[in-house]
Copies of this chain bind each other. A is one copy, B any other.
């Protein structure tokens, strides 16, 4: 039986530069051929023949893979597959995505309960995170995410009022805030985040009957649009019993 034409055989001609494409192709090859840590990478001659590229371009691509710890060099022996190719993690915490998408990846289809929406003068922490000028106001959205009847996240989001000037009650706050910000031309693209283990604040527990929530993974993050402007400050308590994030450390 013949193999279907694989992505590896496609000509290299997308918009990224040759070296980056090559790096990705070689990484694909390592995965698709099931090469394991310690296995030898095909030789330069085999790779240049396979990808129909020059040796200098190949060497640049191999340097990138070496820098990413995908391969390592043993002088005189060749290039080998390193640990990083084995260190695959699903759903790394370092991927920026909406809470809605993140929860879905865990198999949850949470229902968003909006607890409160208000326009207010920001506290100092919020003003600083969002680079607000004196007098600028924010929208504060407080939500609980329930999986069936179980609360799995408690979230507070701040958005500069100037970004969403619409009347608050004209907006459906139960959906993805990321999508909403996209409608207002300010889709967050990345964030600076911190992670800690905490209990929910006492007043939140009391007001919302969350005594059984237990320890929470708190992710506090400032989200930036593509131009580097902070557009959302998010405080997300993930119920400890329901969320485990993965990551690669190197």
Known interface pairs A37-B227, A38-B228. Does A248 touch B60 (Cβ–Cβ under 8 Å)? no
Picked from B93, B190, B216, the residue with its CB within 8 Å of the CB of A87 is B190
Binding site for B on A (CB under 8 A): 16-17, 19-20, 36-38, 59-60, 63-64, 67, 69, 72, 80-89, 93-96, 189-199, 214-218, 221, 224-229, 238, 240, 243-250
Cross-chain contact A94 with B249 (CB below 8 angstroms): yes
Q: Which residues of B contact A37 (CB under 8 A)?
A: 224, 227-229
CA distance in complex: A17, B103 (Å): 41
**Chief secondary structure at chain A's binding surface:** mixed
Cross-chain contact B195 with A93 (CB below 8 angstroms): yes
Cross-chain contact A228 with B194 (CB below 8 angstroms): no
Cross-chain contact B191 with A249 (CB below 8 angstroms): yes
Q: Which residues of B contact A20 (CB under 8 A)?
A: 63-64, 67
Cross-chain contact B245 with A194 (CB below 8 angstroms): yes
In the assembled complex, how far is the CB of residue A26 from the closest CB belonging to chain B, in whole angstroms? Answer: 15
Which of chain B's residues has its CB closest to A191's CB? B249
Closest 3 CB pairs of A and B: A37-B228, A83-B228, A83-B224
CA distance in complex: A83, B225 (Å): 7
CA distance in complex: A88, B94 (Å): 14
Picked from B217, B240, B246, the residue with its CB within 8 Å of the CB of A192 is B246
Known interface pairs A17-B59, A64-B20, A215-B240. Does A193 touch B248 (Cβ–Cβ under 8 Å)? yes
Which of chain B's residues has its CB closest to A214's CB? B199
CA distance in complex: A226, B198 (Å): 35
CA distance in complex: A227, B37 (Å): 6
Q: Which residues of B contact A228 (CB under 8 A)?
A: 36-38, 81-86
Picked from B60, B224, B250, the residue with its CB within 8 Å of the CB of A189 is B250
CA distance in complex: A191, B248 (Å): 6
Which of chain B's residues has its CB closest to A190's CB? B250
CA distance in complex: A38, B247 (Å): 30
Picked from B67, B85, B193, the residue with its CB within 8 Å of the CB of A249 is B193
In the assembled complex, how far is the CB of residue A37 from the closest CB belonging to chain B, in whole angstroms? Answer: 2
